[in-house]
């Protein structure tokens, strides 16, 4: 049986938790893109465009992404 050390688990969970703060699953980003294509309201389109920009910025800069507001913090 393989031994897994406590430190290995802590490090793996730490990496995953941090990554989850700046990299959304692809299906979530695709859903925003789909919503943007269907949105009729100009204001709604602006909001969705900003969210998509922030998703990309969060991923590129590895900065936390706020899903409540769509703003990288």
Interval 15-50: pLDDT, tens: 999 888 888 889 999 999 999 999 999 999 998 998
pLDDT band at residue 63 under the 50/70/90 scheme:
confident
How confident is the model at residue 68, as a pLDDT? 63
Give the long-range contacts of residues 50-58, CB within 8 A, separation 24 or more. 55/24, 55/29, 58/21, 58/22, 58/23, 58/24
Look at residue 72 in the predicted model and tell me its pLDDT.
Answer: 52
pTM: 0.72
Exposed/middle/buried for residue 29 (C-beta within 10 Å: 0-12, 13-18, 19+): middle
């Amino acid at each position: 049986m393989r031994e897994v050390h406590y430190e290995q688990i802590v490090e793996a969970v730490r990496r995953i938790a941090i990554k989850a703060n700046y990299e959304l699953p692809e299906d979530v980003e695709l859903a925003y893109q789909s919503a943007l294509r269907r949105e009729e309201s100009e204001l709604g389109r602006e909001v969705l465009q900003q969210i998509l920009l922030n998703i990309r910025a969060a991923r590129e800069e590895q900065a936390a992404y706020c899903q409540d507001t769509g703003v990288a913090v």
